Chain A
Amino acid sequence: MVTTNAPLRTENLSVVFNPDTETEVTAFRDISFELKSEEILAIVGPSGCGKSTLFNVIAGLQPATTGQVEVKNRQVADATGHVGYMLQKDMLLPWRTVIDNVCLGLEVQGLAKSVRRARAQELISAFGLAGFEQAKPGTLSGGMRQRVAFMRTLALDPDVILLDEPFSALDFQTRTLLQLEVMKIISEQKKSAVLVTHDIGEAVTMADRVLVLSRRPGTIKNLVEIDLSREDRDPVKLRKNDKFQYYFQALWEQLEL
């Protein structure tokens, strides 16, 4: 493999369930892509194109049938903890306070309590949730909960963040605000992210490039560069932007819905 500075690269990844039996199903095949440093790469595709399975493989939760995953030029196999993973559900632990939820990953890594607290406090303040440190998740709104989940992901300072439809359960206003916030933080903290989404508008708003997958078995159909500046990406102005309309239309036509 060529050595580059890609924070994440996959090569010829494929996953086959129940191989060599009658129930053999190929989730996806020949998925090769390279995530550039400090970019957001969106993955869109019809339901059942294996997006979630792809994330599981990248996160090391599930082995690939063929191919490999490299994080910062290091091959990843049967290992976890190298990427930050944020799911559709916020998955906050209801018995833990906000700050203890943010600290979860740091605890798992065995960091000292004072270090964990300091790091978590920094994030909580950055996200404007100061004052809610001791609140239980049950008392927070959906948007606040998802912010806490994002902080928990960031706390480990991962180079690569996997976002698995993290905004799909939120109402429109909250979603729009959170998209902006997440974009801002990812660029400020110089992170790279892969975003799986059903929402083409979200992909165009947030991503630098969009990977379009085909129907199952998922293969890469196209890779679309989204040429919009950070300033263009204001959600209100963006809707009226001709380029937004163009990309939206182009991606829509490529999805085999």
Chain B
Amino acid sequence: MLNFRVLLSQIGLAVVLLGLWEYLTAIGYLSASLYGVPSGIATRAWEMMLSGELWQHTWVTTVEAVIGFAIGSAMGSFVGLALWLHEPTARCLRPFIVAINGVPKIAFAPLIIVWFGIGMEAKIAIAAILTFIVSLITTYNGTLETDKDLLKLMRSLGASRVQTWLKVVVPAGTPWMLSALRLNVGFALIGAVVGEYISSQEGLGYVVYYSGVLYDLNGVWVGIFALMVVALLMDYLVTLFERMVRW
């Protein structure tokens, strides 16, 4: 019942905002050529659906973002957890991780395009790098937050470092790993879209960029809304995964 009311108010909010936008454009307060207009966006989206290009572009971006997300998050989480096992290594790597984290990862994009070409591989690589770093840092910091008394308990039981890692550090770090996954939905899409901005012939980033160049602002909005739908779907997948592994 409550969920239904929440859903209803969510739809209501979207309708009111879009309606207001449409109305302000109709009375001439907002310019359709500068801001786009909901009815125009709907028409543009419909055309793109009929021609099949919207599906094609959405599919390309989704595949890039999801694969990049999966590779980056899995590797980042694993390395982040594993660094706990060997403190000297973790300490040695720390300044490098901090340095890479500080750089806007997008700055690597031109290099990646040189290495991987202008196909989907390059976008997957950018999404993977972004999500790798976020997962690595969040998960590693999570392992450092493990309750000191729990570690003491494990030692008093005679547990080895690997045993302590498997039985305590990894499960205790799981909530941290999961919170990084949520952030990574956004980062994976940034990676894919920015890669498409730089050079590509397809994908939602290409739709947004190319429509912008042509002053087709309704087309830009179609791309943005499609990205939002992809983001919501990916977030939902993360929720499903969370239910599987959460304790």
A contact set with B: CB distance below 8 Å: 56, 59-61, 79-83, 85, 87, 89, 91, 93-95, 104-105, 107-109, 136, 156
Q: Is the CB of B247 within 8 A of A156?
A: no
The 0/1 profile, CB within 8 Å of A marked 1, for residues 135-176 of chain B is 000000000000101101111111100010001100100100
Q: How far is the CA of A77 from the CA of B246 in the complex (A)?
A: 39
Find A91's partner among B149, B155, B163 (CB 8 Å cutoff).
Answer: B149
Q: Is the CB of B149 within 8 A of A87?
A: yes
| Closest B residue by C-beta to A59 | B156
Q: Which residues of B contact A82 (CB under 8 A)?
A: 158
Q: How far is the CA of A91 from the CA of B158 in the complex (A)?
A: 16
Q: Which residues of B contact A80 (CB under 8 A)?
A: 155-158
Task: Show 9 A/B contacts (Cβ-Cβ < 8 Å), sorted by A.
Answer: A60-B156, A79-B158, A81-B156, A85-B156, A91-B149, A93-B167, A95-B171, A108-B158, A108-B167
Q: Is the CB of B171 within 8 A of A61?
A: no
Residues of B in contact, count (CB < 8 Å): 17
| Closest B residue by C-beta to A109 | B158
| Closest A residue by C-beta to B247 | A95
Interface of B is mostly: helix
Q: Is the CB of A93 within 8 A of B157?
A: no
Q: Is the CB of A61 within 8 A of B168?
A: no
Q: How far is the CA of A69 from the CA of B153 in the complex (A)?
A: 19
Q: How far is the CA of A94 from the CA of B155 in the complex (A)?
A: 18
Q: Is the CB of A93 within 8 A of B171?
A: yes
Q: How far is the CA of A108 from the CA of B150 in the complex (A)?
A: 14
Closest chain-B Cβ to A196's Cβ sits at a distance in Å of 14
Closest chain-A Cβ to B81's Cβ sits at a distance in Å of 15
- With A93-B168, A107-B167 as known contacts, state yes or no: A61 contacts B152, CB within 8 Å: yes
Q: Is the CB of B154 within 8 A of A108?
A: yes
Closest chain-B Cβ to A28's Cβ sits at a distance in Å of 19
| Closest A residue by C-beta to B163 | A108
Instruction: Across the A-B interface, give the 5 residue pairs with the lowest CB-CB distance, nearest first.
Output: A81-B158, A95-B247, A85-B156, A105-B157, A108-B159
Q: A60-B156, A87-B149 are in contact. List 15 more A-B contacts (CB 8 A).
A: A61-B152, A79-B158, A80-B157, A80-B158, A81-B157, A83-B156, A85-B157, A87-B153, A91-B147, A91-B153, A95-B171, A105-B157, A107-B167, A108-B163, A108-B167
Q: How far is the CA of A61 from the CA of B154 in the complex (A)?
A: 10
Q: Is the CB of A104 within 8 A of B157?
A: yes
Closest chain-B Cβ to A15's Cβ sits at a distance in Å of 16
The 0/1 profile, CB within 8 Å of A marked 1, for residues 165-207 of chain B is 0011001001000000000000000000000000000000000
Q: How far is the CA of A79 from the CA of B171 in the complex (A)?
A: 26
Closest chain-B Cβ to A71's Cβ sits at a distance in Å of 13
Closest chain-B Cβ to A61's Cβ sits at a distance in Å of 6
Q: How far is the CA of A136 from the CA of B246 in the complex (A)?
A: 13
Q: Which residues of A contact B156 (CB under 8 A)?
A: 59-61, 80-81, 83, 85
Q: Which residues of B contact A60 (CB under 8 A)?
A: 156
Find A156's partner among B147, B152, B153, B157 (CB 8 Å cutoff).
Answer: B157
| Closest A residue by C-beta to B150 | A91
Q: Which residues of A contact B171 (CB under 8 A)?
A: 93, 95
Q: Is the CB of B167 within 8 A of A104?
A: yes
Q: Which residues of A contact B149 (CB under 8 A)?
A: 87, 89, 91
Q: How far is the CA of A5 from the CA of B85 in the complex (A)?
A: 40
Q: Is the CB of B157 within 8 A of A61?
A: no
Q: Which residues of A contact B167 (CB under 8 A)?
A: 93, 104, 107-108
Q: How far is the CA of A95 from the CA of B167 in the complex (A)?
A: 10
Query: Which of A79, A82, A91 has the most chain B CB atoms inside 10 A of its CB?
Result: A91
| Closest B residue by C-beta to A162 | B156
Q: Is the CB of B157 within 8 A of A108?
A: yes
Q: Which residues of B contact A108 (CB under 8 A)?
A: 154, 157-159, 163, 167
Closest chain-A Cβ to B157's Cβ sits at a distance in Å of 4
| Closest A residue by C-beta to B153 | A91
Q: How far is the CA of A95 from the CA of B214 in the complex (A)?
A: 55
Closest chain-B Cβ to A63's Cβ sits at a distance in Å of 13
